């Protein structure tokens, strides 16, 4: 288990780092509330619910499925699992289609003293809940590990290659963070920090985890808490996802630049655009090369659009 806590960082009057009481003594959870936001997840939610029903965790837990405006059969499918998941509760969060609105609704309805978050299109490992519970006494937030081979073919993995995760997520030259699709936290942390609903998609979990750590809470990595991550199967869907990720990054920078988040190197951004122009012909050489090029182009275009939207330079 790897612990991350930034020492000696103050609030500096920024909304991004509201004062908190910081870490407090912990034991084992008495009740875990699993919060599963869902928006049109009918294609995959059965697999996730089957994985949750197969957890080896022997203590008390409940499952809150948060309807974030589904127009497909997601909720009807979920209701079929009430015999195998008797503590399954449907939460209405249809008023605003936003992942953080769904998470906020789930937190408000949860009875657990410890909260676990996962996504409808992924698949948790059998030890997921027990591993989060075992890490909980030494943490305020717990981030788990992702596995990308089980649910994705070689083509999808070629579009977005990734190294094995051996610690908390990083990559912005600032604090590490937990993924909103594979994390746990004590309920008092979720209530105290709160999910910023101005982050509708992308960077929402980064923003939350950074504010939690800036308030003094401890984030740890638990490698046994594994989820099988499902990539987008269609190339354009993957590109839209990375475009939206890119749009969110200047927003993140605007909120945290005064606290130490560095600006992305403009020279690096220009080199990336030069690479995109130079290798545009690779989009004709096969789907692997085309998907990889498209992902890079989408995220960088998103950063340009996000810089304009949030009136800050982060390319």
The CATH number covering residue 170 comes to 3.90.550.10
13 and 49 assigned to the same domain? yes
Partners of 33 in the β-ladder: 62, 115
125 and 27 assigned to the same domain? yes
274 and 242 assigned to the same domain? yes
Residue 149, domain member (yes or no): yes
CB 284 within 8 A of CB 196: no
Distance between CA atoms of residues 250 and 263, nearest Å: 9
CB 314 within 8 A of CB 303: yes
Structural domain count of the chain: 2
125 and 155 assigned to the same domain? yes
Residue 315, domain member (yes or no): no
Angle at CA of residue 30, ends 27 and 35, nearest 5°: 110
- How do beta strands 61-67 and 123-124 pair? unpaired
Distance between CA atoms of residues 97 and 2, nearest Å: 34
138 and 271 assigned to the same domain? no
Of the candidates 9, 12, 8, 5, which has an alpha carbon nearest to the alpha carbon of residue 258? 12
Of 228, 248, 264, which marks where a domain is finished? 228
Per-residue model confidence (pLDDT) at position 10: 31
DSSP conformational letter for 242: H
Residue 182, domain member (yes or no): yes
Low-confidence ranges of the chain (pLDDT < 70): 1-23
Residue 116, domain member (yes or no): yes
Residue 28, domain member (yes or no): yes
Of 208, 228, 248, which marks where a domain is finished? 228
Per-residue model confidence (pLDDT) at position 6: 29
262 and 213 assigned to the same domain? no
Of 228, 250, 273, which marks where a domain is finished? 228
Distance between CA atoms of residues 174 and 255, nearest Å: 13
Per-residue model confidence (pLDDT) at position 285: 83
Q: Quick one: 36 exposed, middle or buried, by C-beta within 10 A (0-12, 13-18, 19+)? A: buried
Which token pair is 190? 């979720």
80 and 205 assigned to the same domain? yes
190 and 304 assigned to the same domain? no
153 and 285 assigned to the same domain? no
CB 174 within 8 A of CB 203: no
- For 62-113, the pLDDT digits (tens) are 999 999 999 999 999 999 999 999 999 999 999 999 999 999 999 999 999 9
Which domain does 279 fall in, by range?
235-310
Residue 97, domain member (yes or no): yes
* Predicted TM-score (pTM) of this structure: 0.91
10 and 63 assigned to the same domain? yes
62 and 155 assigned to the same domain? yes
Per-residue model confidence (pLDDT) at position 18: 52
211 and 145 assigned to the same domain? yes
Residue 137, domain member (yes or no): yes
Of the candidates 112, 118, 120, which has an alpha carbon nearest to the alpha carbon of residue 75? 120
The phi-psi region of residue 309 (left if phi > 0; otherwise alpha if psi is between -120 and 50; otherwise beta) is alpha
Helix segments in the chain, DSSP class H: 45-53, 74-79, 99-109, 128-135, 154-159, 187-193, 204-214, 235-256, 266-278, 287-310
Residue 50, domain member (yes or no): yes
């Amino acid at each position: 288990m790897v612990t991350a806590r930034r020492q000696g960082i103050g609030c500096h009057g920024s909304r991004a780092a509201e004062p908190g009481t910081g870490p407090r003594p912990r034991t084992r959870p008495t009740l875990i509330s699993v919060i599963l936001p869902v928006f049109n997840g009918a294609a995959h939610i059965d697999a996730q619910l089957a994985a949750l029903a197969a957890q080896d965790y022997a203590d008390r837990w409940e499952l809150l499925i948060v309807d974030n405006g589904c127009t497909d059969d997601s909720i009807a499918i979920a209701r079929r699992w009430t015999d195998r998941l008797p503590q399954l509760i449907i939460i209405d969060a249809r008023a605003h289609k936003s992942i953080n609105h769904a998470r906020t609704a789930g937190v408000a309805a949860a009875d657990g003293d410890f909260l676990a978050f996962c996504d409808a299109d992924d698949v948790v490992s059998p030890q997921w809940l027990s591993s989060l519970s075992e890490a909980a006494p030494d943490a305020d937030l717990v981030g788990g590990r992702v596995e990308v081979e089980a649910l994705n073919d070689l083509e999808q993995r070629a579009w977005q290659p990734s190294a094995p995760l051996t610690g908390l997520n990083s990559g912005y030259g600032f604090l590490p963070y937990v993924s909103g699709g594979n994390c746990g936290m004590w309920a008092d942390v979720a209530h105290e920090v709160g999910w910023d609903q101005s982050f509708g998609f992308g960077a929402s979990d980064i923003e939350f985890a950074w504010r939690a750590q800036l308030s003094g809470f401890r984030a740890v990595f638990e490698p046994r808490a594994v989820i099988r991550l499902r990539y987008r199967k269609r190339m354009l869907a993957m590109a839209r996802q990375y475009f939206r990720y890119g749009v969110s990054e200047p927003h993140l920078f605007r909120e945290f630049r005064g606290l130490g988040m560095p600006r992305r190197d403009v020279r690096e951004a220009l080199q990336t655009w030069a690479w995109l122009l130079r290798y545009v012909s690779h989009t004709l050489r096969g789907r692997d090369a085309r998907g990889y090029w498209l992902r890079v182009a989408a995220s960088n275009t998103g950063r340009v659009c996000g810089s304009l939207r949030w009136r800050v330079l982060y390319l």
